[in-house]
């Protein structure tokens, strides 16, 4: 297959989305396919400017993708991101064109629905105008990215079900193929190295449930004076501990940019992984922590929604901070419960190796291309 991949984020192996897009492309090349990858620096208008990034990517990608397709013939184009609604719509109109896949790390339309729940706009004239603006711009752009694609790949079943409910794709043109885990996490140390530590990994933003991280961990750290909290991937530095009570700040470690091995080593020392995210397209951080032997406390989104509550994780409602506090304390205080859940969690993710997941993606792409070719032959002979 000849594949053109277009990414809305930079291909940085430290960033979650950037890393997965690199791994998909590298994996497909390893199977003998030709894969060209475009990232924002290739097509974004006025690249590096701080404002209106989505719109500058949306406009810049139209001409750049068309130019790329004029230079080379591709079997398939995969767009990573709702920013490419205009490019997808324009390409879908072409008589001779590649197969178009919307390959998402998170279904933007479902993410917007969730955002209206956990971070609602004020019920004022200004708030209503801002909501209308979002719906007419950001959400319409995202909708086009899916409505005009031929097939849909996502990392979780919730996203797949939602696009089917919205009648954007028939079930046969959807696939749930989660990202793989890097070897550093799959080979991480097991139970013997556990300490009295709780870990969280993620950007310090509302979508990651940081209000609940602060509320719950203020209480838990106050009740367990021997406990420490490790925060990975937050990008906030020294400012983050100020969100917590002064009495517990000295037991909070905000880790800077680390290698996979350093993060895996840190997670391997933690007893509990606390991940109260409000929305995930998959939740790579959760899967990585599970591979490192952490017992997870999480919410019913992304991969977390597919875990067996009480067996592979303790799953709490999005804003039930009382249940979250009880769950974290239960795992800290009951070693047999923590050990059992951690073992089941590790078992659940240990097969998520990149070669396996890339093979699943290749199989889906081959199947769709073959079905599309058959459809074309039937239309030609009709």
Q: Residue 258 sits in a domain of what CATH number?
A: 3.40.50.2000
| Residue 223: band (very low, low, confident or very high) from pLDDT cuts 50, 70, 90 | very high
Q: Give the pLDDT band of residue 190 (cuts 50, 70, 90).
A: low
Percent of the chain past pLDDT 70, that is, above it, reads: 97
Residue 102's closest CA among 353, 379, 364, 376?
Answer: 364
- The DSSP string of 183-196 is HHHHT---GGG--S
Asked if residues 21 and 153 have their Cβ atoms less than 8 Å apart, the reply is no
pLDDT tens-place string over residues 298-352: 999 999 999 999 999 999 999 999 999 999 999 999 999 999 999 999 999 998 9
Q: Closest Cα partner for 287 from 164, 184, 152?
A: 184
My answer on whether 170 and 205 are in the same domain is: no
Token digits of residue 357: 């997941």
Same domain membership, residue 329 and residue 187: yes
* Number of C-beta neighbours around residue 1 at 10 A: 17
Whether 101 and 120 map to the same domain: the answer is yes
CB 183 within 8 A of CB 350: no
Same-domain status, 193 and 116: no
> Where does the pLDDT of residue 192 fall: very low under 50, low under 70, confident under 90, or very high at 90 and above?
low
Distances (CA, A) of 217 to 212, 223, 309: 8, 10, 21
> Does residue 306 share a domain with residue 258?
yes
- Residues 119-157 have pLDDT tens digits of 998 989 998 998 898 889 889 999 999 999 999 999 999
Identify the domain containing residue 87 by its residue range: 2-180+353-381
CA angle 116, 119, 122 (to 5 degrees): 85
> Do both 94 and 158 map to the same domain?
yes
Q: Single out the residue of 35, 48, 54 nearest to residue 358, CA to CA.
A: 35
For residue 376, pLDDT beyond 90: no
Same domain, 155 and 39: yes
Per-residue pLDDT band for 189 (boundaries 50, 70, 90) equals: low
Q: CB neighbours of 166 closer than 8 A, spacing ≥ 6?
A: 109
Note whether 167 and 234 are same-domain residues. Answer: no
**Considering its fold, how many domains does the chain have in total?**
2
CA–CA gap between residue 37 and residue 43 (Å, rounded): 11
Mean pLDDT of 103-109: 94
Residues 127-136 have pLDDT tens digits of 899 889 888 9
Whether 10 and 131 map to the same domain: the answer is: yes
Alpha carbon dihedral 227, 230, 231, 237, in 10-degree steps, equals 100
Q: Are 80 and 37 in contact (CB under 8 A)?
A: no
Cβ atoms of 77 and 91 within 8 Å: the answer is yes
- CB-based contact 96:23 (threshold 8 Å): no
Q: Please give the distance of CA 7 from its chain centroid, rounded to a whole number.
A: 14
Residues 300 and 256 in one domain: yes
Chain centroid offset of residue 68 CA: 27
Tens-place pLDDT, residues 43-87: 999 998 989 999 999 999 999 999 999 999 999 999 999 999 999
State the pLDDT confidence band at 231, using cuts at 50, 70 and 90.
very high
Residue 63's contacts (CB-CB under 8 Å, 6 or more residues apart) are none
Full-model pTM:
0.93
User: Do 41 and 122 belong to one domain?
Assistant: yes
Shared domain check, 224 and 151: no
Nearest to 83 by CA among 105, 66, 98: 105
């Amino acid at each position: 297959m000849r594949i053109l991949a277009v990414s809305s984020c930079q291909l940085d192996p430290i960033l979650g989305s950037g890393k997965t897009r690199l791994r998909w492309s590298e994996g497909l090349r390893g199977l003998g396919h030709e894969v060209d990858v475009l990232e924002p620096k290739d097509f974004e208008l006025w690249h590096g400017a701080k404002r209106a990034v989505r719109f500058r990517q949306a406009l810049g990608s139209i001409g750049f993708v068309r130019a790329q397709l004029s230079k080379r013939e591709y079997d398939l184009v995969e767009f990573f991101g709702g920013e490419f609604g205009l490019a997808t719509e324009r390409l879908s109109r072409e008589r001779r064109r590649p197969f178009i896949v919307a390959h998402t790390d998170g279904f933007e339309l479902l993410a917007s629905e969730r955002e209206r729940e956990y971070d609602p706009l004020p019920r004022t004239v200004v708030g209503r105008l801002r909501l209308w603006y979002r719906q007419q711009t950001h959400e319409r752009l995202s909708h086009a990215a899916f409505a005009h694609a031929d097939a849909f790949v996502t990392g979780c079943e919730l996203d797949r079900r939602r696009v089917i409910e919205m009648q954007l794709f028939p079930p046969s043109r959807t696939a749930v193929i989660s990202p793989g885990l890097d070897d550093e996490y799959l080979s991480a140390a097991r139970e013997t190295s556990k300490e009295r530590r709780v870990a969280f990994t993620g950007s310090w933003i509302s979508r990651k449930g940081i209000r609940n991280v602060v509320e719950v961990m203020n209480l838990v750290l106050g009740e367990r004076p021997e406990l420490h909290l490790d925060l990975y991937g937050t990008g906030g530095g020294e400012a983050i501990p100020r969100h917590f009570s002064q009495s517990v700040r000295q037991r909070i470690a905000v880790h800077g940019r680390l290698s996979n091995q350093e993060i895996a080593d840190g997670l391997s020392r933690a007893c509990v992984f606390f991940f109260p995210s409000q929305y995930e397209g998959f939740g790579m951080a959760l899967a990585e922590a599970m591979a490192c032997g952490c017992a997870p406390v999480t919410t019913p989104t992304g991969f977390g929604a597919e875990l067996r509550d009480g067996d592979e994780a303790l799953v709490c409602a999005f804003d039930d901070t009382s249940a979250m506090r009880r769950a974290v304390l239960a795992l800290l205080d009951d070693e047999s419960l923590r050990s059992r859940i951690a073992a089941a969690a590790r078992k659940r993710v240990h097969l998520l190796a990149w070669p396996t997941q890339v093979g699943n993606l290749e199989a889906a792409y081959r199947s769709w291309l073959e079905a599309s070719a058959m459809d074309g032959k039937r239309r030609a002979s009709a």
